[in-house]
Every structure is written in structure tokens, then in C-alpha cells.
């Protein structure tokens, strides 16, 4: 759905993008990860037709962003990292205004605005002036604004920045909902655990270059050589932990087992059968209190990748 080849952009002597390549399949949530100044916002601005690249080609749905920006704008909904709202407009009028800007037929605008307000859980705020809404509500309204023309692709630049935990969860659920509606979502964020839970694809950018990209599990597997499980025992004495470790470490597909914080962290190959391990532990009489995949791998992958590059 989104294809980028050899994208380069300089601002004076500073290189923002240096031959960036990426590919996002239709219907995926693509997490775009990188440190500040890596080129995330420049990439999103190029895809949103706001910035012209110096070199390279970017297409959305097969439409080239530089040659046919108006065609791309039909396909894309854009939510910038920082955004403002208008004074003295109600939420309903705000969405109707942007629907008009996207040439939604006049007779549909009111209905589209109402439906979208319901979607982002602001149905009861239709008559409220947008500048009086909370930051989280404004963020949701801004997401609704990006949807007024029913785009196939959403470009979200740090959609959860500056939000409290509750508002972050709401935005995350909303993005999942949009994926279920068939949208392709390109999202950049600094909050890696959230991206990890949300995204199906991930790309790491550093100093204008894509250092790793692909489906989340593949990238995690390639970078970290396996994924991690955490096993906690009902009675976490050292003897029992060591016994359980001995039971686990010789199994096929297990890369390493460590005792960490009164529990076991098991690094396994991507195709390792987790359920079988749990069954075998229980059958062997080990009292298992919890058995879960360890999240936060994305942060570690990010650190490893950027460490290699630097």
C-alpha cells in the first residue's frame, strides 16, 4: 500500500533522509520507530505531500506523492504530531468543515461528522466548542478529522504524545478499531511498549536510513534471536527455580534460561511451542503461578539496532 524507494531529503547541510526504503502492506499497522531527528516526521510529511523529497520515489496505493499530490490526498488521512483546533467552532462544525475541505458531498457532511463523533466516543460532545475539549478529546477529534473522507491510509505522527494513560489506551483501541475497518495505518511513536502491542509491522529508522523493517515477529526474531517467556512459580525458592531451569534448558528450541527477579526468563526460538512447555512443567509437578510472553522486546531491539549503527 505504501512503497518508498531511495527517499532522500536534506535541509541545508543536514541529512534528514538518506536513501530510505520501506514497504507497508495493505491493512497492516506499521510502527515507525527511531530516535529524535532520525527522519520519522520528514518521511510522514513526504507521504502526506507536505514536503518534496530531493530524490527517490514514494507511492501510496500506486499513486506517486510528488506527481499527483491531490490524488494521494484522497487516499490519505494525516494527523500531525502537534496540531491546533479552531476557536468558536463546535466539534460537529469542525468535522463538517474538514469534510467540505475534502470535498465530501454537502448532503453527506452532517451524517459523516455525526458517525465519526460516535466512532471516537464524542457523540455527546457534538455541540461543544472544540477549544474547550480536553487534550485527549481533541486528539480523538483530530483522529476523526483525519477520517472524514474515509481514507485508505492513515499517517499518524506521535498520536499519543502528551496524553495521559487513559487517553493513550483510548487512542490505541481506536487505532485497532480502524485496522478492523480495513485501514492501513502508519504510526510513529516514541512509546515503544505501546507500539509493540499495537503494530503488526515495524520499521526502525536511524539517521535517515531504515535499519530494519518487516512483520513484528520477524523483526524481533532477527534482532533479538528469539523471543522471551517469563515463568513464575507458586513457591519461588532457589532450589525449585534451579530445578525448573534444568527441566527447561535442554529442550529443543530453548536458547537460554536465566533466573531473574525470583522467576525464570526463557529465550526461545520464534517457532517454539509455548503451550507444550507449560503443559510439561505442570505435568512434572512444577507449581506455575504465571506463564507469559515478555513485552518490551521492541525497546531492546531498538537499543540493539541503534547501538550497532552508532
Q: How far is the CB of 280 from another protein (least distance, A)?
A: 39
Q: How far is the CB of 208 from another protein (least distance, A)?
A: 20
Residue 166 binds to another protein (criterion: CB under 8 A): no
Residue 54 binds to another protein (criterion: CB under 8 A): no
Site for another protein in 209-268 (CB under 8 A): none
Residue 78 binds to another protein (criterion: CB under 8 A): yes
Residue 90's SS3 state is strand
Residue 292 binds to another protein (criterion: CB under 8 A): no
In terms of CB distance, is 141 or 216 closer to another protein?
A: 141
Q: How far is the CB of 50 from another protein (least distance, A)?
A: 6
| Total number of residues that touch another protein (CB under 8 A) | 50
Distance, CA of 246 to CA of 248 (rounded, Å) = 5
Q: How far is the CB of 203 from another protein (least distance, A)?
A: 22
Burial 142-179 (b: 16+ CB within 10 A, else e): bbbbbbbbebbbbbbbbbbeebeeebbebbbebbeebb
Find the binder of another protein among 118, 164, 246, 309 (CB under 8 A): 118
In terms of CB distance, is 83 or 291 closer to another protein?
A: 83
Cell of 191: 512509546
List helix spans (H) across the chain.
Answer: 40-47, 69-75, 91-101, 106-119, 135-146, 165-180, 192-198, 216-224, 238-249, 274-283, 297-309
Q: How far is the CB of 173 from another protein (least distance, A)?
A: 10
Residue 136: name the closest of 100, 117, 160 by CA: 160
Contacts of 31 (CB under 8 A, 6+ apart): 187, 188, 189, 195, 196, 198, 199, 201, 202, 203, 216, 298
8 Å CB contact between 181 and 116: no
* CA dihedral of 65, 38, 138, 1, whole degrees rounded to 10: 40
Residue 152 binds to another protein (criterion: CB under 8 A): no
Distance, CA of 202 to CA of 217 (rounded, Å) = 9
Find the binder of another protein among 3, 18, 21, 121 (CB under 8 A): 121
81: part of which helix (H) or strand (E)?
Answer: none
Residue 1 binds to another protein (criterion: CB under 8 A): no
In terms of CB distance, is 183 or 227 closer to another protein?
A: 183
Find the binder of another protein among 105, 127, 165, 285 (CB under 8 A): 105
Residue 61 binds to another protein (criterion: CB under 8 A): no
Which residues here bind another protein, judged by CB under 8 A?
A: 45, 48-50, 52, 68-71, 73-74, 76, 78, 80, 82-89, 93, 97-105, 108, 111-112, 115-116, 118-119, 121, 123-124, 145, 147-150, 177, 180-181
Amino acid at each position: 500500500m505504501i512503497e518508498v524507494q531511495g527517499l532522500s531529503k536534506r535541509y541545508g547541510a543536514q541529512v534528514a533522509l538518506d536513501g530510505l526504503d520501506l514497504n507497508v502492506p495493505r491493512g497492516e499497522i506499521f510502527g515507525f520507530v527511531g530516535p529524535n531527528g532520525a527522519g520519522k516526521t520528514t518521511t510522514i510529511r513526504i507521504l502526506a505531500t507536505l514536503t518534496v523529497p530531493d530524490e527517490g520515489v514514494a507511492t501510496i496505493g500506486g499513486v506517486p506523492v510528488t506527481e499527483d499530490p491531490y490524488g494521494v490526498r484522497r487516499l490519505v488521512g494525516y494527523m500531525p504530531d502537534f496540531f491546533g483546533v479552531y476557536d468558536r467552532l463546535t466539534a460537529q462544525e469542525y468535522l463538517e468543515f474538514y469534510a467540505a475541505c475534502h470535498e465530501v458531498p454537502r448532503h453527506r457532511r452532517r451524517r459523516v461528522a455525526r458517525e465519526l463523533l460516535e466512532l471516537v466516543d464524542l457523540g455527546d460532545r457534538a455541540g461543544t466548542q472544540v477549544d474547550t475539549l480536553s487534550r485527549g478529546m481533541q486528539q480523538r477529534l483530530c483522529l476523526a478529522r483525519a477520517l472524514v473522507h474515509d481514507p485508505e491510509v492513515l499517517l499518524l505522527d506521535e498520536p499519543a504524545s502528551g496524553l495521559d494513560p487513559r487517553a493513550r489506551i483510548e487512542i490505541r483501541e481506536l487505532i485497532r478499531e480502524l485496522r478492523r475497518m480495513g485501514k492501513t495505518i502508519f504510526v510513529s511513536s516514541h512509546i515503544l511498549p505501546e507500539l509493540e502491542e499495537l503494530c503488526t509491522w515495524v520499521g526502525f529508522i536511524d539517521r535517515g536510513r531504515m535499519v530494519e523493517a518487516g512483520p513484528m515477529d520477524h523483526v524481533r526474531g532477527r534482532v533479538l534471536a528469539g523471543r522471551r517467556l517469563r515463568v513464575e512459580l507458586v513457591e519461588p525458592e532457589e532450589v525449585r527455580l534451579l530445578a525448573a531451569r534444568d527441566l527447561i534448558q535442554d529442550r529443543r528450541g530453548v536458547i537460554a534460561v536465566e533466573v531473574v527477579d525470583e522467576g525464570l526468563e526463557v529465550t526461545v526460538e520464534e517457532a517454539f511451542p509455548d503451550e507444550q512447555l507449560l503443559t510439561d512443567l505442570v505435568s512434572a509437578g512444577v507449581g506455575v503461578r504465571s506463564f507469559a510472553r515478555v513485552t518490551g522486546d521492541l525497546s531492546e531491539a531498538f537499543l540493539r539496532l541503534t547501538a550497532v549503527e552508532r
